[in-house]
Amino acid sequence: MTPVATPDADRTVAQVVAARLRDIPDFPKPGILFKDFTPLLADGPAFARVVQDVAHRHAGQVDVVVGIEARGFILGAAAAYALGLGLVPVRKVGKLPGETLQEEYALEYGTAAIEVRADAFRAGQRVLVLDDVLATGGTAAATCQLVERAGAVVAGVDVLLELASLGGRQRLGRRPVHAILTV
Ligand code: AMP
């Protein structure tokens, strides 16, 4: 018997994401299994479902959204719009004008650094941090450090996908982490 396709309305948001994530082996370098969510972005109802999921969980609980360069900008901007909040970009070094705070973090080989505008937050603002993938957690942890050094509070870290075996959640300590999908 031919299986009947389940309409997305009957699927969990995790199933909606899982059905639209593409595994790209050896990208951007050998040994990396890249999790590509452009098929999700290309599907309007599915993308809207994900953004609504994020917005519903955080409505009234956060004051500003942070998007991590670059794919976090896409989710961050959409979620900020849905929540009626502003967006603060956390960027690779050298992209933001004016005074910034910087945070360095370890990569598999070497280090990377990200920054945020020094005056991006008001004291005590509750911040939702968004990115596509939580892997080792280095990027998200450095982002949280920036938010906290800038005087704000991390109310939540949300990702589409958590690669649980890499231990990113542990690196974020007691900060609330939510992954729509965990593999
Ligand atoms: P990490 O700092 O190790 O948690 O890596 C997270 C950052 O790198 C996120 O901004 C992701 O966009 C990206 N990233 C890490 N691993 C992957 C992967 N397997 N597929 C797609 N993006 C990834």
- Please give the pLDDT value at position 35: 98
162-183: per-residue pLDDT in tens? 999 999 999 999 999 999 999 9
- Please give the pLDDT value at position 4: 58
Q: What does the pLDDT average to over 7-27?
A: 94
Q: Which residues line ligand 1 (CB under 6 A)?
A: 32-35, 68, 71, 131-140, 168
- Hey, whose CA ends up nearest to atom 15 of ligand 1? 135
Q: How far is the CA of 50 from the centre of ligand 1 (A)?
A: 19
Q: What does the pLDDT average to over 8-28?
A: 95
Is 61-182 assigned to CATH 3.20.20.70?
Answer: no
Interacting residues of 143 by C-beta distance below 8 A, sequence separation 6+? 66, 68, 90, 103, 114, 116, 129, 131
- Hey, whose CA ends up nearest to atom 3 of ligand 1? 136
- Please give the pLDDT value at position 5: 58
Q: How far is the CA of 165 from the centre of ligand 1 (A)?
A: 13
96-138: per-residue pLDDT in tens? 999 999 999 998 778 999 999 999 999 999 999 999 999 999 9
Instruction: Work out the pLDDT band at 10, boundaries 50, 70, 90.
Output: confident
pTM beyond 0.75, yes or no: yes
- Please give the pLDDT value at position 108: 73
Q: Cα 179 to chain center, whole Å?
A: 9
- Give the domain ranges of the chain: 61-182
- Pocket perturbation via mutation, ligand 1, pick of 133, 143, 161, 162 by most ligand atoms within 8 A of CB: 133
d(CA 53, CA 122): 26
Mean pLDDT of the chain: 95
Q: What six digits make up the tokens of 52?
A: 């609504």
**Residue 175 is among the residues annotated as catalytic for this protein:** no
User: Is the pLDDT confidence value at 3 over 70?
Assistant: no
